[in-house]
Structure 1
């Protein structure tokens, strides 16, 4: 692929059961998912993405994003439990990347893990707070399921998409009961 194709990021905003999601993909895979991607949130996310990747941003719901969009639609329909999409990890590094990769492969659909448990899995058992920071910096929420990380006492903990979004994702996966209304 030529340099133009490598430095181009395709993006689209798609509706979902948890509100509009901005999806962005490079030639290497899905690079970013942003919650609540209406107006100002979308514009801010696109500006940051262009700056961080030094890339041309092109709106397109086909091409690189066709499979991620199909996968998310199937996930929200309750028919997909594992995404298996190519991911571009270039928006995270070091400890955060290590934790997020463990989360992506080691905490399956319908289960949860504690912040401290995840810290132990990456060989840093005292780094529960740093795991929380890694969850907050996750550039690929839903796909890399930070909603599955909870407090050791069973509390939900924090969530960049808001606690109601976390509850809805955990209910979709059968971890929490569906809301009554």
Structure 2
């Protein structure tokens, strides 16, 4: 894990169908994607200087997010700087293997890590994913197929899963 004590951080904000997304870069590499009101969202002062979306690496991130939200992109291809424990990073590495439009249970994810009894630990690591949507933690559901926690809120999780499966969801205000 790379230390960020002396690392340069910048951030920008882009619009999305799920509200504003704060994109954070560490040393020019995407290290965070946070939704408004997201659980485990770091304090704003941790994001570094706010810059225009035209500053690297944000143009390509914004382009790929736009293509994803338009239904034209099903897998992101971006360098990422993910800070976390070895176990968290192993969970996040598995998340990007969940195919677009599909879901895995926490137990299935734990099994793929070779730790079949670690469903709760997998859930905790999943919840601390710093790059939501791009590292698709929304694709993990409960063993019964039910919607369980999501750092961005269950309403967003349901909408993201519906979007990826091609189902229209009406949002009540």
What TM-score range do you get, normalising by the shorter chain? 0.7 to 0.9
Which one has the bigger helix percentage?
A: 1
Q: Aligned partners of 2:78, 2:70: CA distance in 1, in Å?
A: 17
Corresponding residue for residue 3 of structure 2: none
**TM-aligned CA deviation for residue 28 of structure 1:** 5.6
d(CA) in 2 for partners of 1:93, 1:58:
27
Q: What are the equivalent positions in structure 2 for 1:162-173 lying under 5 Å apart?
A: 162-173=153-164
| Partner Cα separation in structure 2 for residue 65 and residue 25 of structure 1 | 8
Q: Aligned equivalents of 2:12 and 2:159: distance in 1?
A: 23
Native 8 Å contact 1:8 1:57 kept in 2? no
Select 1:146's aligned residue among 133, 137, 146.
Answer: 137
How big is each residue's C-alpha offset from its partner over 1:93-138, in whole Å with a ceiling of 9 and x where there is no partner? 221110111111x201111000000001111110001111011111
Query: What TM-score, normalized to structure 2?
Result: 0.87
d(CA) in 2 for partners of 1:180 and 1:34? Answer: 23
- Normalization by structure 1: what TM-score? 0.83
| SS of corresponding position for 2:165 | coil
Task: Give the distance between the partners of 1:180 and 1:15, measured in 2 at CA.
Answer: 20
Aligned-residue Cα RMSD (Å) equals 2.2
Aligned counterpart for 1:115 among listed residues 88, 106, 121: 106
| Structure 2 residue 38 is the aligned partner of structure 1 residue 45 | no
Alignment partner, residue 168 of structure 2: 178
Structure 1 residue runs without a partner (length 5+)? 1-5, 51-55
Q: Is the 8 A contact 1:11 1:57 kept in 2?
A: yes
